[in-house]
Amino acid sequence: MSNPAPMVDSPSPTSSAIELVDAEPRDPLALALPHSDVPQEERLFLHWLDGKNSATVEGYRGDLADFGAFMRRVDGTPLVEASERRTPDESARAAQRAIAALMALGNTQGPGTANALVLAYRAHLLGERVAPRTVNRRMAAIRSVLKAARLVGAITWTVEVANVGVAGLRDTLGPGKEVVAAIVGALTGAARDGDRDALRNLAIVRLIYDLGLRRGEVVSLNVEHWEPKRRRLWVWGKKRAEREPMDDVPIETARALDAWIDLRGDEPGALFQSFSPRDYGQRLTGSGVYLVVRELGLGLGTRVRPHGIRHTAITEALDKSGGDIRAVQRFSRHADMRTLQVYDDNRRNLGAAIAAQIAADMPGLDDEEGESE
């Protein structure tokens, strides 16, 4: 990502923030509360993240770390070094530093300066062609943690930078059933030979496709969330306050899970762990799942992402059910049924069908002269 352009009419907008990061701030969180023995910024984050599932925590930390990489010190160097891959601890430290700097900036130079910085960050993301949904998620992360800071009295202001407009769902078809079947087939063959990576990755792909799980839901799973005798999986869904049971998991999915756990061991903890040398043995992150699926797709000469596999599963569910949107909603766990209506429309390509009928009534190049008269 290229360096952001300097802000107009606001020289060194982040300089005061960076200089004050390590100062001794007023600490409204120094109370007889949980986490009271850790520094203020870290404590604020711990309170803010309480009750959020691991996927949300990972996403917010990554978004705020990216914001820190946008911010500049007085000498022009980034407040946080840019990185495509951070360990969870690195993301947490980078996120805390970014928000501490933003809080200090707003407290010393005023809310307008803090808002100007966030506005410049949003413009920078759009200039880098970052997807609008990603831009809005990063804005939401900043607003959310500042709301927590204001709630406890660490700040008295807020960031009012709005989201950008987002178009409706476009690609809801995913890579297609044939591609997913090829990936599962290749993984199954390697898994039968005891390949460690294949056993783990097969379980991941089958959870995404067979159950329509989101990658964040997959990486949040612990071994104890799987009950093999009852074929029950406890899933922490999007915007859910607690885990919910998924009963009667398909036998094929259960076999993939059991085979992986036989190799992994049934000791409590993260169901899926990273094999990367940098964070070996730690919980596999959503970014890690993305990279795994991308590599599997590249092995077939195509581009595949986890959510694309979920898209394919939902489209296939609509085909199998004859377009029963209510039944498929139970499978996909979409809160808004209108989202599935978009899937169904795209699946049947209704617009193209109507376009073909309209076009057929007009003279064409293949018509014999005078045929349409």
Could you say which of 43, 97, 215, 310 is catalytic?
A: 310
One domain for residues 80 and 186: no
**What is the C-alpha to C-alpha distance for residues 134 and 202, in angstroms, rounded to an integer?**
28
pTM (two decimals):
0.60
Question: How many structural domains are present in the chain?
Answer: 2
| Alpha carbon distance 105, 112 (integer Å) | 10
Establish if 162 belongs to a structural domain.
Answer: no
Q: What is the CATH number of the domain that holds 324?
A: 1.10.443.10
For 19-26, which contacts have Cβ atoms below 8 Å and span 24 or more sequence positions? 19/74, 20/101, 20/104, 20/108, 21/97, 21/100, 21/101, 21/104, 23/104, 25/104, 25/154, 26/154
Per-residue model confidence (pLDDT) at position 32: 35
Among this protein's residues, is 229 annotated catalytic? no
Task: State whether 182 and 231 are in the same domain.
Answer: yes
242 and 142 co-located in one domain: no
Q: Which of 143, 231, 238, 305 is catalytic?
A: 238
**147 carries an active-site annotation:** no
Q: In this structure, is residue 221 part of a structural domain? A: yes
Does residue 123 lie in a domain region? yes
| Together in a domain, 122 and 198 | no
Question: What's residue 168's pLDDT?
Answer: 54
Residue 264 lies in a domain: yes
**Residue 114 belongs to what domain range?**
15-151
Whether residue 307 lies in the annotated active site:
yes
Give a yes or no: residue 361 inside a domain: no
Note the pLDDT tens digit of each residue in 244-291. 898 999 999 999 999 999 999 999 999 999 998 888 899 998 889 999
Q: Does 214 qualify as catalytic in the annotation?
A: yes
pLDDT along the chain (373 residues), means of 10: 41 38 36 47 69 72 90 87 81 87 91 93 91 88 89 88 72 81 95 95 95 90 95 80 85 95 94 90 90 94 91 85 79 70 64 70 67 47
β-pair partners for 246: 233
The answer to whether residues 118 and 200 belong to one domain is no
Any domain includes 227: yes
The answer on 307 and 255 residing in a single domain is yes
Domain co-membership, 182 together with 279: yes
Domain match, 200 and 251 both? yes
What are the b/e assignments for 91-119, b being 16+ CB within 10 Å? bbbbbbbbbbbbbbbbbebebebbbbbbb
Catalytic residue among 43, 61, 86, 214: 214
Residue tagged active-site, from 143, 243, 334, 347: 334
The single residue of 294, 307, 333, 347 carrying the catalytic annotation is: 307
Does 309 share its domain with 250?
Answer: yes
- Beta strand ranges found along 8-128 (DSSP E): none
The pair of three-digit structure tokens given for residue 11, joined into one six-digit string:
């020289």
- 219 occurs within a structural domain: yes
| Active-site residue flag, 47 | no
Q: Are residues 87 and 192 in the same domain?
A: no
Tens of pLDDT, residue by residue over 294-306, are 999 999 999 999 9
Task: Examine the domain organization and report whether 97 and 215 are in the same domain.
Answer: no
Is residue 114, in this structure, part of any structural domain at all?
A: yes
Both 142 and 206 in one domain: the answer is: no
Is 35 annotated in the active site?
no
